[in-house]
Amino acid sequence: MNTNRDALHGTDLPEPLLPIYQHPRDLRLLVWQGSAPQTLSVLRETTQHYGAWRVTFRIIGESHWISAQHADSAPLQEVLACVALPLPAAAYQHAFGALRGRQVYLAQGAYQIAVRFAVTRQPSRFPKGGLGLAFPPIFGQTPFTHIGWQVSGAGDHLMWQTQHLYPQPEGLIVVSSLSRLHLAKQPIWATT
């Protein structure tokens, strides 16, 4: 991965990034197993392989989309974004709305995710490694999306963490997610 300042700030993209105002209350967490959404614009992506697993990490605007596929099974899709997508009936959807209950947790099959919100007046330090993208400043602060991942020491779990910085007039809202995928457990996604 290219980690120079130009790549971090998006000058390696085919078109320059424009400032855009997004509020985390418009975020939705969408998780399902099946086809990829056709309406999401990918700004940066990388694919990693872990045995029979193929995992693709993507930055889509100030949000993320991750796909995890085992061999020939249908991929698990995780999207945290300010979008509504047509989804299968078995999909999990959580709209954050007014940011009440500032945390959500989901565990199904071999997959788990926790999402949390924090309001701060201090900008966060940008994480190193993984996949990251800074956006043009708004309200005097830099929106930022970062995805980092690692396999557990025993090699049986893949974990990825995302951090999204949303500048607001009242301060900075940090949205973090932590996902975990058991690489030896099936099914990937079990509906309840």
The string of pLDDT tens digits covering residues 61-91 is 889 999 999 998 999 999 999 888 888 888 8
| 159 touches 149 (CB < 8 A) | yes
The string of pLDDT tens digits covering residues 127-175 is 567 999 989 999 988 898 999 999 987 889 999 999 998 888 888 888 8
pTM value is 0.87
The string of pLDDT tens digits covering residues 88-123 is 888 898 888 765 556 788 888 889 999 988 777 665
> Residue ranges of the domains in the chain?
5-13+24-182
Q: What sign for the dihedral angle of Cα 48, 176, 166, 93?
A: positive
Burial (0-12, 13-18, 19+ Cβ within 10 Å), 81: buried
Cα 150 from Cα 166, distance rounded (Å): 25
